[in-house]
Amino acid sequence: MVTLLKKLFLSTFLSCMFYLVPSWQLSAQERLHYWEDSETYLQDQASVIIENAYKVLAAYPPTTISGNERKLALFSLDALFHDTRLDNSTAFLKFMDRITSNIASELSKDKPSGNEMRFFRFYNHGFIIQTSSVTVGIDLVRGGRLDKPFISESLMRSIVDQCDILFLTHRHGDHTDFSVAKMFCEQGKKVIVPEIMYNELSSCLKVVRGTDFIHETIRLTKNNIELNVFVYPGKQGNILNNVYMITLPEGKTIVHTGDQEFSDDLISKISNNKKVDVLLVQCWMLPMEKFVSGIKPVLVILGHENEMLHSIDHRESYWLTFRRMTGVKEPYIVMAWGEKYDFGEKLF
């Protein structure tokens, strides 16, 4: 009898405590079941995974030694981005808005000092490199379909406003975007391409390519800044692909491969030219170990994971990038979209 009374008392007490919980902890907007509404369930689940994955990434930012926490966050994004049910979904589009807004905000803050470089990982194989004097965009696209891009025009313009020049490696739609190139042209900013891509913009695009490795000095109107650019005339299949070696005014040199296929000739031309500080290479470059060791960069930053318009088997994943980098001896970093990394005298 005493035991029964204790159970009744405990049950009543817990029930009362439930109703005393502050209302902010029981938000009416947060659903507690999704029976017969699997569509909303998947959308909300995606939002929760993305939010918490990026919280972990913020706590464990990009370094040359990725711990289990960071890897698990990246692998969670892999699983999410390989679920085609979420392609062009509300949750995904809100996520793209959020990271694009964050990059625009970061670009507007204090620039790197001295000869440091700041790298922003954009969508797919897109990168923004910022120094104290210049901000360079490479392969910046809005992603998605022409009628439904992942990034809105207004948000993309907020990125373009803060860039000084755009380099496009080749004409594939996951590396070039007419609307983005047009924004640069409208602002009188140079767009460097391997061939004429858009007839409507032909007057403002600058083709930089030769039959062999060539050097071009590109002068920017802003503060009369010069970029020393070497261009390797590569290919992806039958598509012309420029590999850019860019020396920034502060003295550091970066290389962006675009979708260049493996080439011993490319390795020899780059390694014999000058020291590469940062190599921006697509994650599916094979054999990766031979390519990286031949160029000998100070740091490798990977790109091209999770291109959403590719089939599942070709949406290269972060976990597969780590596997491909197993034998690489040079320091490397795997970054999620929207993340930044400051490259200075020391690697972390």
At 179 the three-state DSSP class reads helix
2 located within any domain? no
Confidence of residue 202 (pLDDT cuts 50, 70, 90): confident
CA separation for the pair 86, 43 (Å, rounded) = 7
Q: What is the mean pLDDT of residues 139-165?
A: 95
Q: Residue 210 belongs to a domain with what CATH number?
A: 3.60.15.10
* Structural domain containing residue 227: 42-343
* C-alpha 191: how far from chain center: 20
Q: How many distinct structural domains can be found in the chain? A: 1
pLDDT above 70 (res 17): no
pLDDT score at 316: 97
Tell whether 24 is covered by a domain. Answer: no
Mean pLDDT, residues 19-30 taken together = 40
pLDDT band (50, 70, 90) for residue 286:
very high
| pLDDT 10s digits, 127-142 | 999 999 999 999 999 9
Look at residue 38 and tell me whether its pLDDT is greater than 50: yes
Asked if 303 contacts 124 with a C-beta cutoff of 8 angstroms, the reply is yes
Q: What is the pTM assigned to this prediction? A: 0.90
Looking at the domain assignment, is residue 30 inside a domain?
no
The per-residue pLDDT of the chain, averaged, comes to 90
Q: Considering the domain boundaries, does residue 34 fall inside one? A: no
Residue 139 is assigned to a structural domain of this protein: yes
**266 domain-assigned:** yes
| CB 183 within 8 Å of CB 152 | no
